[in-house]
Amino acid sequence: MEIKLYDTMTRKVKRIAPTDEKRFRFYCCGLTVYGPAHIGNFRTFTLQDVLRRILKISGLNPYHIRNITDVDDKTIRQSESKGKSLKKITEKWTDIFHADCQELNMLPPHKEPKASEHIPQQIKLISTLLNKGCAYQAKDGSIYFKISTFPDYGKLTQLDRVELKTQTDANDNHQNLADEYEKETVADFSLWKARKANDGNNYWVSPWGEGRPGWHLECSAMSMEYLGESFDLHGGGIDLCFPHHENEIAQSEMATGIKPFSKHWFHSAHLIVDGKKMSKSLGNMYTLEEIKLKGYTAMALRYLLISGHYRQPLNFTFNGIDAAQSAINKLETFIYEMLSNIKMIKEDFISLQLETSTDDWGYLDKAWEALINDLNTPACLGNIFSALNKISSANLTTNEITSNLKALAHITYALGLDPFSKEQKTVLVPNEIRKLAEERWLAKNSKDFIKADKFRDEIQAEGWQVHDGKDTYKLVPL
RNA sequence: GGCGCGGUAGCCAAGUGGUAAGGCCGGAGUCUGCAAAACUCCUAUACGCCGGUUCGAUUCCGGCCCGCGCCUCCA
């Protein structure tokens, strides 16, 4: 069983496998905690989560590190403007992030290092780079990486002309920019930022004076700390290719002398909203909370996020999440029915999901093949529904149903789709709606249908629908 | 300008050198106080345009049109 995945560096679909045969070590650039994560962040993290789940099912023993960036301009600015400590601010957003991740059924990384807790490692890395002559201190005390010392600079994004560009630009308007930051050339990036007045008390002491590490450095320092100087895969959003990952490669490979820093680069394309890039000014940066307030489940969002191929931009629309909600509902209902047909319960399914390896995919074979072939989640979903159609039309024995159910358990585990999300209270029903629904239910049970229908109309006017069951009812958004 | 991506039915989205998965929507039926939900069935002559290669291209090559991303700290 081979897992194949596109590698940004070589621009080819390559087989991925652990170097040391023991575990597959991978690092993902995580969130900067200065606000709630948006659904675009979650697209990237969800795809990484699916990759991890596939690795696990394949027996490749994934070891997943994802950092938290809790020291940077934005977090410090917020801390200063709110008059709260950096720690307090970043912990608040980190907690919210964790809660969101859990609702989206994402496995927590094995380690989730914070930049602020790895300052010594970063300082050490800077020392190494200074000793090797590929970094320098500017007049203001900041330390910069000198990209001209790294001939491979730009190899990930194939920006061979970066250095050339900076040299030519030095003669025109960018010269000023370089001067402003006291860099030798514009493309040099900071490893250490000297303390400034508006940093408040957010600084650390280093051999080069007070200050704080630059953004790119933390990922190099922390990935090396937990995964070693060279590891199996590095992931992140497509926007991180340049300059973040180029810079990571430069500083890491120069510091250790070991190539490659990462054997494989995994980048996911962006989520766009209504055909436009998400941005605060357009007001189209949705959070999970906002999606839930509109009546969708976290699972519907997860489904939507994996319903397009990771190397393709995905356009988020409410039309799309409607479709996702319907599809995930259908899948959940199917599994529920299948379970009751063979007198199994939810817990049985969950224990099937936890048996992580299988060689019998039944009708789900194509769904699995799609996943291990460059993480083709949309093809996987299509093949799941094809399989469901086959299962329901074929005359299967109990044994056959059981084995297909087992395969379904594995494939839903791989995608991280929790088939019992309906039972969770992931849909936030406003209290006034719940109250109306209660009253309607009472009226209906006392056969006062006129009154009951009136309540139903009111509920519908508020954007909710009542689904009557035998003994109870459900509220779903229109 | 540099690097890169895409244009498949009303919407979303796979895929293949030999006439195209799946989901949503839509329609009909079953069920039910009525609805909805659920279930069953049905439905679409969809591959941006123009050339080329080929017995045959949506799939390969070239050109064009349109849309989009990155190019210094944004997943």
In single-letter form, the type of residue at position A204 comes to W
- Cβ contact A78 with chain B strand, < 7 A: no
Q: What is the pLDDT of residue A173?
A: 40
Q: What is the pLDDT of residue A184?
A: 79
Mean pLDDT over A150-173 rounds to: 62
Q: Which nucleotides of B are covered by protein (CB under 7 A)?
A: 2-6, 11-15, 21-25, 33-41, 67-75
C1' (B22) to CA (A240) span, angstroms: 32
**The domain spanning residue A402 has which CATH number?**
1.10.730.10
Q: What is the pLDDT of residue A422?
A: 62
Are the C-beta atoms of A216 and A189 separated by less than 8 Å? yes
What does the alpha-carbon distance between residue A60 and residue A110 come to, in Å, rounded to a whole number? 15
pLDDT, tens digit (0-9, with 9 covering 90-100), for A187-225: 899 999 999 999 999 999 999 999 999 999 999 999 999
Same domain, A276 and A262: no
Same domain, A275 and A258: no
Q: What is the pLDDT of residue A181?
A: 52
Does the pLDDT value for residue A322 go beyond 50? yes
Q: What is the pLDDT of residue A182?
A: 65
Same domain, A449 and A417: no
Q: What are the backbone angles phi and psi of residue A145, rounded to the nearest 5°?
A: -85, 135
Q: What are the backbone angles phi and psi of residue A418, rounded to the nearest 5°?
A: -85, 110
Same domain, A318 and A463: no
pTM passes above 0.90: yes
Are the C-beta atoms of A71 and A115 separated by less than 8 Å? yes
Residue A356 pLDDT grade (very low, low, confident, very high; cuts 50, 70, 90): low
DSSP letters for A206-263: ETTEEEEE-HHHHHHHHHHHHH-SSBSEEEEEGGGIIIIIHHHHHHHHHHH--S-SBS
Does the pLDDT value for residue A231 go beyond 70? yes
Mean pLDDT of chain A: 89
pLDDT, tens digit (0-9, with 9 covering 90-100), for A34-78: 999 999 999 999 999 999 999 999 999 999 999 999 999 999 999
Q: What is the pLDDT of residue A427?
A: 54
- Cβ contact A60 with chain B strand, < 7 A: no
Does the pLDDT value for residue A396 go beyond 70? yes
Domain count, chain A: 3
Mean pLDDT over A74-91 rounds to: 95
Residue A160 pLDDT grade (very low, low, confident, very high; cuts 50, 70, 90): low
Element (H, E) at A37: none
Give the least confident one: A179-188, A189-198, A313-322: A179-188
Does the pLDDT value for residue A295 go beyond 70? yes
Domain final position from A268, A291, A307: A268
Q: What is the pLDDT of residue A110?
A: 98
Q: What is the pLDDT of residue A174?
A: 41
Q: What is the pLDDT of residue A17?
A: 92
C1' (B5) to CA (A311) span, angstroms: 9
Same domain, A131 and A7: yes
Closest CA to A109 of A224, A54, A39, A30: A30
Are the C-beta atoms of A71 and A202 separated by less than 8 Å? yes
Domain final position from A268, A302, A333: A268
Does the pLDDT value for residue A255 go beyond 90? yes
Same domain, A244 and A122: yes
Same domain, A455 and A355: no
What does the alpha-carbon distance between residue A302 and residue A414 come to, in Å, rounded to a whole number? 13
pLDDT, tens digit (0-9, with 9 covering 90-100), for A429-465: 788 888 999 999 999 999 999 999 999 989 888 878 7
DSSP letters for A66-135: EEEE--SHHHHHHHHHHT--HHHHHHHHHHHHHHHHHHTTPPPPSB--BGGG-HHHHHHHHHHHHHTTSE
Q: Using the CA of A48, which nucleotide's C1' is the nearest one?
A: B75
Q: What is the pLDDT of residue A215?
A: 94
Are the C-beta atoms of A421 and A332 separated by less than 8 Å? yes
Residue with tokens 């999901």: A353
Same domain, A10 and A136: yes
> And the tokens for A441?
């239910």
**The domain spanning residue A59 has which CATH number?**
3.40.50.620
Same domain, A339 and A374: yes
Q: Which residues pair with A211 in a beta bridge?
A: A194, A204
Same domain, A235 and A315: no
> And the tokens for A450?
């006129």
Same domain, A362 and A380: yes
Residue A179 pLDDT grade (very low, low, confident, very high; cuts 50, 70, 90): very low
> By residue range, what is the domain housing residue A350?
271-423
> And the tokens for A427?
């849909």
Sign of CA dihedral A344, A345, A350, A354: negative
3-class DSSP state of A404 = helix
C1' (B70) to CA (A238) span, angstroms: 8
Domain final position from A423, A445, A465: A423
Mean pLDDT over A240-244 rounds to: 92
> And the tokens for A423?
């039972």
Give the least confident one: A194-198, A217-221, A329-333, A418-422: A418-422
Q: Strands, E, within A402-454: which ranges?
A: none
> And the tokens for A378?
């949309």
Please give the DSSP secondary-structure letter assigned to residue A15: E
